[in-house]
Amino acid sequence: MTVGIHQPHYFPWLGFLDKVAKSDMFVILDQVQLEKGSQMIRNRVLDTNGNIKYLTIAADTRNFLDREYRSIEIKDKDVWIRNQKNALINYYRRSRCFDEAYAFMESFYKNDFTTLFEWVFESVKEVCRVLAIDTPFVLQSEIEYDRDNRKSDMILEICRALSADTYLSGHGGSSQYLVREKFRDSGIEIRFQTFEHPVYRQYQKSEFLSGLSVIDALFNCGMKGTKNLFWKNFNEDTGNEDNYIS
């Protein structure tokens, strides 16, 4: 069984979702610290001039380094939701799939969560439903393992607890601190994710900009178009002949 592990990202980029789809089980880290200014609280979109802007969730980040991510509460809900709605209207009103994508976002904003984690994790689950990614999620807080372990040892203990034989790693910071010998000695293979971002037409730019929130693809390609784009890219990368496109 291949296990992926990551902090949740607010309406993540397609590379995050690709990692979820390539895992047999995906662990969402909810007991780690918030990385302030990261995709754990905000994500990138484009304005009408093709400039990067951020959709940020307002949260009570006082003493956030002493608190688990799942315990951080949001604040000024009506304000940040209104600001995000107005931003999406201003940035994407001329996009080809505005009505469909904006209706999806409006439905999401009707949730009544009180914590940052709930909002961010729900955004991940909602997008997975749109893209038909059916990988099961498990929360870090639901897994029994020795919580004195950190970094590489924490990842290893989580994999052991889930009886994983393969850990799917990204190429980010975690790959730098993995103690590969310990994984090998435990019979767990480390496999590194391969991902080449698919290109689609962004109405704001003549030259494609990758790494944005999936929101950008939804407005420019629509629900079905983004799903087709995602699975075509996935199948080409994995050599999978299964046709997820419908």
Give the structural domain span for 212: 2-142+196-238
Distance CA 104, CA 108 (A): 6
Pairing type for strands 52-56 and 137-139 reads unpaired
Evaluate whether residue 171 is within a structural domain: no
Rounded-to-integer distance, Cα 102 and Cα 31, Å:
32
Nearest-Å Rg of the Cα atoms of the chain is: 18
Which pLDDT does position 245 carry in this prediction?
36
Total domain count for the chain? 1
**Strand order from edge to edge, sheet including 166-169:** 137-139, 25-28, 2-6, 166-169, 189-192
Residue 62 lies in a domain: yes
Residue 93 lies in a domain: yes
**Domain presence at residue 167:** no
Query: What pLDDT score was predicted for residue 172?
Result: 67
Q: How far apart are CA 224 and CA 101, in angstroms?
A: 11
What pLDDT score does 91 carry? Answer: 98
The phi and psi torsions of 166 (rounded to 5 degrees) equal -140, 135
Q: Does residue 158 lie within any of the structural domains?
A: no
The pLDDT value recorded for residue 173 is 58
Task: Output the pLDDT for position 239.
Answer: 80
CA–CA distance, 205 with 24 (Å, rounded to integer):
36
pLDDT at position 232 is: 98
- Assigned domain for 129 exists: yes
Residue 26 φ then ψ, to 5°: -125, 125
The answer to the question of residue 244 being in a domain is no
pTM of the full predicted structure? 0.94
Upper half-sphere CA count for residue 200 (Cβ side, 13 Å): 25
> Which among 206, 230, 205 has a CA at the least distance from the CA of 217?
230
Instruction: Say what the pLDDT of residue 174 is.
Output: 64
Q: Is 189 domain-assigned?
A: no
User: What confidence score (pLDDT) does residue 163 get?
Assistant: 98
- Which letter does DSSP use for residue 136 in this model? P
Nearest Cα residue to 156 out of 166, 238, 43 = 166
The residues of the chain scoring below 50 in pLDDT are 242-246
At 175 the pLDDT is 65
